[in-house]
Amino acid sequence: MLTIFLQAQQGSSSMMLIMMGVMFVGFYFLMIRPQMRKQKQEKNFQETLKVGTRVVLTSGLHGRIAQVQDDGFVIETLSGKLKFEKAAVSREFTETRFGDKAKAAAEKTAEKKEIETENK
C-alpha cells in the first residue's frame, strides 16, 4: 500500500513541473515577448527622429524637435525651448496625434539611414 502511495505522489510531482513549465512558456509568449517588441519599436522610433519633427511627450506636451543631442532632444514649444530625455517622446501619442505625418517622416529618415549604410 505504501508503494502505491509513493508512486502516485511521484507521478503528480512530475506533472506539476510540466504544468509550471507550460505556464512559464505561456507567460513568455503572452506577456514578456510582446513587451520586448514594443520597447524595441519605441527605441527605433526615438532614434529616427530628426529636427523639425512634431512630437508628443509622455507628459502630454506637444512640440517640435529643435535640436537632437546624444542624451536627449531640445523641444520647441509655444512657451520656449525645453530639453527632454529621448525616452520622454512617446511613439503612441505622436502617431495618434499626427498620424501619417509622423509615419512618413520616420519612413523617410529610415530610408536615408539605409542609403547611408549602403554607401559606406
Predicted TM-score of the model (pTM): 0.57
> What is the band of 74 on the pLDDT scale with cuts at 50, 70, 90?
very high
Q: What is the DSSP letter of 89?
A: B
91 CB-near residues (< 8 Å, 6+ apart): 41, 42, 45, 46
**44/63 same-domain check:** no
Q: How many domains does the structure of the chain reveal? A: 2
What distance in Å separates the CA atoms of residue 74 and residue 89, rounded to the nearest whole number? 11
- Check which CATH number belongs to the domain holding 100 and give it: 2.30.30
Beta bridge partners of 67: 74
**30/72 same-domain check:** no
Residue 57 structural domain:
50-108
pLDDT, one tens digit per residue, over 37-66 is 988 988 888 888 889 889 988 888 999 999
**54/86 same-domain check:** yes
Q: What DSSP line would sit under 49-87, residue for residue?
A: --TT-EEEBTTS-EEEEEEE-SSEEEEEETTEEEEEEGG
Q: Can you say whether residue 52 is alpha, beta or left, with left for phi > 0 and alpha for psi between -120 and 50 degrees?
A: left
pLDDT, one tens digit per residue, over 81-100 is 999 998 888 887 788 877 76
**35/54 same-domain check:** no
